[in-house]
């Protein structure tokens, strides 16, 4: 693996660790009973509404926990399994699935709930950046 590929994989791992952190804070808000001051910014931004809505769980599993597990899988691919031949394709597939899920949740925020969560938007930015890097890694490995 070239030095550039190792650096790209390391950056993916760093972004994924940041994603685990953001998702864990979001999970804490999912279960919290008190209001969150820093995440309640007027009528347009309110993490409490988003993280405690009926859309914050999927089949009884908090969306934030799903995010943590997805980001953990990305960390594993970018570190432990980075040398495997199939890893770039798996990284691309996993990050694309994560991005699609994050975009769906953003749609829910915008069109159904009518309120945004800065933690969710942060996670969207992280997974979007990760997906772009995964495309670069996959493309470079294919060449």
Cβ atoms within 10 Å, residue 71 = 28
pLDDT, residue 41, reads 83
pLDDT tens digits, one per residue of 52-90: 999 999 999 999 999 999 999 999 999 999 999 999 999
At residue 113, what are phi and psi to the nearest 5 degrees?
A: -85, -30
User: Quick one: pLDDT band at residue 134, thresholds 50, 70, 90?
Assistant: very high
Task: Indicate if the alpha-carbon torsion angle 40, 43, 47, 51 is positive or negative.
Answer: positive
pLDDT tens digits, one per residue of 19-44: 999 999 999 989 988 877 778 888 89
Query: How many separate domains does the chain show?
Result: 1
List the CATH number of the domain containing 132: 1.20.1440.130
Q: Residue 50: pLDDT above 80?
A: yes
pLDDT, residue 90, reads 97
Parent domain of 59: 3-142
What is the 3-state secondary structure of 15-76? HHHHHHHHHHHHHHHHHCCCCCCCCEECCCEEHHHHHCCHHHEECCEEHHHHHHHHHHHHHH
Residues 6+ apart with CB under 8 A from 36: 29, 47, 48
């Amino acid at each position: 693996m070239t030095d550039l590929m190792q650096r790209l994989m390391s950056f993916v791992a760093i972004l994924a660790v940041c994603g685990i952190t953001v998702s864990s804070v979001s999970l804490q808000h999912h279960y919290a009973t008190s209001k969150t001051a820093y995440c309640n910014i007027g009528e347009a931004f309110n993490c409490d509404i988003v993280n405690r809505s009926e859309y914050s769980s999927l089949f009884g599993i908090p969306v934030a926990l799903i995010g943590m597990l997805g980001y953990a899988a990305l960390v594993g691919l970018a570190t432990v399994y980075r040398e495997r031949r199939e890893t770039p394709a798996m990284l691309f597939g996993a990050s694309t699935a994560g991005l699609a899920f994050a975009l769906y949740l953003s749609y829910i925020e915008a069109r159904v709930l009518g309120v945004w969560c800065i933690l969710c938007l942060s996670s969207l930015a992280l997974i979007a950046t990760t997906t772009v890097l995964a495309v670069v890694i996959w493309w470079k490995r294919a060449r």
